[in-house]
């Protein structure tokens, strides 16, 4: 009997050890959770990321955040509140002083990416992100039911206003956002940041201010109708034209179907409007790529660069993939509308990722608003923009009183 009891005890102990070992093994393979925040307007990106992550050894917790809110959070939050990974416009790299983005070694970047395709994520010859989506540029969308002959110039566009039904407005865009104002500046001259320095007190800026606000003052465009308002009105057939980004193409196409038309931005006085273009990039704040979740984050980095993922960016979101070989293959097979998305990219202006770009945006908005309110003339507004931008950039600006 004693022998039987001993054998039973041994068996129980072995079972217990095996059970504990099984628990330890299960816990050791529990996937690492990556906290990822993205700002891309096309929120279907979330579903695509989750689909691909199913086959990976990590889990994703994904949060969408407004771009302006994200910038504020990055500049004010503690490190513990910042996510492991960010997918956002590459100009966010200008906040590197606050965020400490990981430098990405060439060995972790697919060989299909060359120096040109990585330019928007390269600062001081170091790579701080991998671009997923190329473009992010503005286009002229129109409703074919309301527009028989799409305008290629502002003169042609304005001439169509009188022929529209009374309940239809000619055009709308996010009037108070400086990203939309920039193509008007480039139609009259150079962009607002050159060699990473503000270029604001110029005749081009003054002409752009006068041109744009005249459209508001004559009720051609409603300056009080924000991004969501304009998008809704265009989809509902209340606007003949709208200026919006490539990111809006899929939504507009799904809603308007064959009635949707796409053009490059209309010329002004024979000069082409050249919008900024940039990339949507995967970045790693707080040097997370080499932190405790290093293996999982490097797997995420590899996942978004693979050919199949890049192809799906186009198939699911109608976003131009940043990987050059994939984009070239897609460009060869697109529809006429889709071809415009690619062609307009060729004449756009690369948006700097330098930290001074954020300063210039704010300086522009302050002068733009004051001119619109009638507080400043165009000359005073452009001089004011330049002054406050230079003051903010000055290394001794923090010693000066506000």
C-beta of residue 340 within 8 angstroms of C-beta of residue 263: yes
Domains and their CATH numbers in the chain? 33-135+277-350 (3.40.190.10), 138-275+353-396 (3.40.190.10)
Give the whole-number percent of the chain exceeding pLDDT 90: 73
Residue 18 confidence (pLDDT) above 70: no
- Average the pLDDT over 308-327 and give the result: 94
The pLDDT, as a whole number, for residue 76 is 74
Q: What is the mean pLDDT of residues 311-332?
A: 94
Range with the lowest mean pLDDT among 26-30, 171-175, 211-215? 26-30
Give the other-Cβ count within 10 Å of 47's Cβ: 12
**3-state SS class at 232:** helix
What pLDDT digit, counting tens, does each position of 72-116 carry?
A: 777 776 677 889 999 988 888 887 777 899 999 999 999 999 888
Q: Which long-range contacts (CB under 8 A, 24 or more apart) does 264-267 make?
A: 264/139, 264/140, 264/152, 264/340, 264/343, 264/344, 264/347, 265/138, 265/139, 265/140, 265/183, 265/344, 266/140, 266/151, 266/152, 266/153, 266/154, 266/156, 266/157, 267/152, 267/153, 267/154, 267/187
The mean pLDDT of 257-286, rounded to a whole number, is 95
**What are 141-159's pLDDT values in tens digits?**
999 999 999 999 999 999 9
Judge if pTM exceeds 0.75: yes
Taking the C-alpha atoms of residue 359 and residue 379, their distance in angstroms, rounded to an integer, is 20
What is d(CA 285, CA 81) in angstroms, rounded to the nearest whole number? 11
Q: CB 401: neighbour CB atoms within 10 A? A: 3
Phi, psi of 298 (to 5 degrees): -70, -30
Tokens encoding 320: 């131009």
Rounded to an integer, what distance in angstroms lies between the CA atom of residue 343 and that of residue 348? 9
Residues forming a β-bridge with 193? 198
Nearest 10 degrees: CA dihedral of 70, 389, 372, 264?
A: -70
Rg (CA), the chain: 26
Angle at 220 between CA 217 and CA 222, to 5 degrees: 75
Higher pLDDT, 265 or 94: 265
């Amino acid at each position: 009997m004693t022998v039987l009891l001993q054998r039973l005890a041994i068996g129980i102990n072995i079972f217990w050890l095996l059970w504990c070992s099984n628990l330890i093994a299960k816990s050791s393979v529990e996937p690492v959770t990556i906290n990822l925040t993205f700002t891309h307007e096309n929120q279907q990106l979330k579903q695509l990321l989750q689909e691909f992550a199913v086959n990976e050894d990590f889990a994703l917790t994904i949060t969408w955040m407004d771009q302006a809110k994200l910038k504020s959070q990055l500049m004010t939050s503690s490190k513990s509140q910042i996510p492991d990974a960010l997918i956002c416009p590459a100009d966010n790299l200008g906040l590197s002083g606050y965020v400490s983005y990981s430098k990405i070694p060439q060995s972790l970047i697919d060989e299909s990416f060359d120096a040109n395709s990585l330019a928007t994520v390269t600062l001081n010859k170091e790579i701080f992100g991998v671009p997923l989506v190329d473009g992010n540029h503005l286009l002229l969308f129109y409703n074919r039911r309301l527009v028989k002959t799409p305008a290629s110039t502002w003169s042609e566009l304005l001439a169509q206003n009188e022929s529209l039904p009374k309940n239809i407005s000619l055009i709308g865009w996010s009037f108070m956002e400086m990203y939309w104002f920039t193509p008007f500046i480039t139609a009259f001259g150079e962009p607002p940041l050159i060699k990473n320095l503000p270029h604001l007190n110029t005749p081009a800026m003054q002409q752009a201010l006068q041109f744009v606000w005249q459209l508001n003052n004559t009720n051609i465009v409603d300056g009080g109708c924000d991004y969501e308002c304009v998008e809704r009105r265009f989809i509902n057939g209340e606007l003949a034209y709208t200026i919006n980004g490539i990111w809006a193409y899929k939504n507009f196409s799904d809603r308007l179907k064959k009635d949707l038309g796409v053009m490059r931005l209309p010329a002004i006085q024979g000069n082409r409007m050249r919008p900024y273009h940039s990339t949507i990039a995967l970045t790693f704040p707080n040097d997370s790529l080499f932190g405790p979740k290093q293996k999982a984050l490097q797997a995420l980095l590899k996942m978004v660069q693979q050919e199949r993922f890049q192809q799906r960016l186009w198939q699911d979101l109608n976003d131009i993939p940043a990987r050059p070989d994939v984009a070239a293959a897609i460009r060869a097979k697109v529809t006429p509308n889709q071809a415009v998305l690619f062609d307009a990219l060729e004449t756009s202006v690369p948006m700097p990722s330098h930290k001074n770009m954020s300063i210039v945006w704010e300086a522009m908005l302050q002068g733009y608003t004051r001119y619109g309110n009638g507080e400043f003339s165009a000359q005073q507004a452009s001089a004011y923009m330049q002054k406050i931008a230079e003051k903010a950039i000055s290394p001794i600006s923090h010693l000066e009183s506000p």
